């Protein structure tokens, strides 16, 4: 489904991001995964190569909140492969701090990585995609961007901002054949969630109409669809992958 496509996936070393990278590789894409540290990037690539040594996967670890570093790294990828077809902005940070313990610095830290860093990837990629005649930008939103959450206000705020960015850029970039969509996962089985005790997880599962937690592959499948030509007339969408929980 993605044969001959070149993709960048931020936050691609674990969890949903890793699942997206693997799914893209399975479908013929060349993927550059971004991680926070060289060690985690190297480990993720080694793990993927163990599954299929012929997969075209490489990695980098630019500081996502540094616009110049992101522009420089993305320029290297363009120089190496000649094009960038897909950008997946998946890196982010969650939050559960109650408002009485909040600081302005804490709020800014989350907004910086979850919103500003997304734009740091989009801005240089948009110029490349315009020059090549089109492309696809995908953002990771969240179920809580729709319904909020009991604490950690910066996280749903940042993801609602990602939704607004997605809707607006889809309209602005449509004439250049650049599609912009987002995926909004619900409770998904990642390493962090799997480490939680059953007594915390089961009440959450009981609130999900499908009565199960989402798997990283469920979310990766949504990204694959939106990145592929099957979604060639889909833009400006926030695709919920949450088992219809949303509250």
Provide the residue ranges of all domains of the chain, joining segments of one domain with +: 6-188+216-241
The pLDDT confidence band at residue 197, using thresholds 50, 70 and 90, is: low
Q: Which of 18, 102, 155, 160 is catalytic?
A: 155
pLDDT digits (tens, 9 = 90+) for 224-244: 999 999 999 999 999 999 999
pTM for the predicted model, two decimal places? 0.94
Whole-angstrom distance, CA of residue 142 vs CA of residue 13: 19
Tokens at 184, concatenated:
């909004």
Task: Give me the residue label for tokens 């793990």.
Answer: 47
- A 10 A CB-CB count for 14 gives 17
Which pairs count as long-range contacts for 191-200, CB under 8 Å and 24+ apart, including other chains?
Answer: 191/14, 191/15, 192/15
Q: What is the DSSP letter of 128?
A: H
Confidence check: pLDDT of 246 > 90? no
CA atoms within 13 A on the CB side of 119: 12
Considering the domain 6-188+216-241, what is its CATH architecture? 3-Layer(aba) Sandwich (3.40)
Whole-angstrom distance, CA of residue 109 vs CA of residue 126: 25
Tokens at 63, concatenated:
């500081």
Give how far Cα 129 sits from Cα of 17, 18, 31, 170, Å.
Answer: 22, 24, 16, 13
Active site residue 155: yes
The pLDDT value given to residue 19:
98
């Amino acid at each position: 489904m993605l044969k001959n496509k070149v993709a960048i996936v931020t936050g691609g070393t674990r969890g949903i991001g890793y699942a997206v990278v693997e799914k893209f590789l399975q479908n013929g894409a060349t993927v550059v995964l971004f991680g926070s540290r060289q060690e985690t990037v190297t480990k993720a690539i080694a793990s993927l190569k163990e599954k299929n040594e012929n997969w075209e996967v490489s990695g980098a670890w630019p500081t996502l909140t540094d616009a110049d570093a992101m522009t420089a790294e993305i320029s290297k990828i363009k120089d190496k492969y000649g094009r960038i077809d897909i950008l997946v902005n998946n890196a982010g940070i969650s939050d559960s701090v109650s408002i009485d313990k909040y600081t302005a610095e804490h709020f800014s830290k989350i907004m910086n990585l979850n919103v500003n860093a997304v734009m740091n990837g989009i801005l240089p990629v948009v110029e490349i995609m315009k020059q090549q005649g089109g492309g696809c930008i995908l953002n990771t939103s969240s179920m809580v961007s729709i319904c909020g959450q009991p604490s950690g206000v910066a996280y749903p705020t940042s993801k609602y901002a990602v939704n607004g960015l997605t809707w607006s850029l889809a309209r602005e970039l449509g004439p250049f054949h650049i599609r912009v969509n987002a995926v909004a996962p619900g409770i998904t089985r990642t390493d962090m969630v799997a480490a939680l005790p059953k007594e915390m997880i089961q009440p959450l599962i009981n609130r999900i109409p499908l009565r199960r937690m989402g798997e990283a592959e469920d979310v990766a499948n949504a990204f694959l669809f939106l990145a592929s030509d099957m979604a060639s007339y889909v833009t400006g969408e926030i695709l919920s992958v949450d088992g219809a929980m949303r509250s």
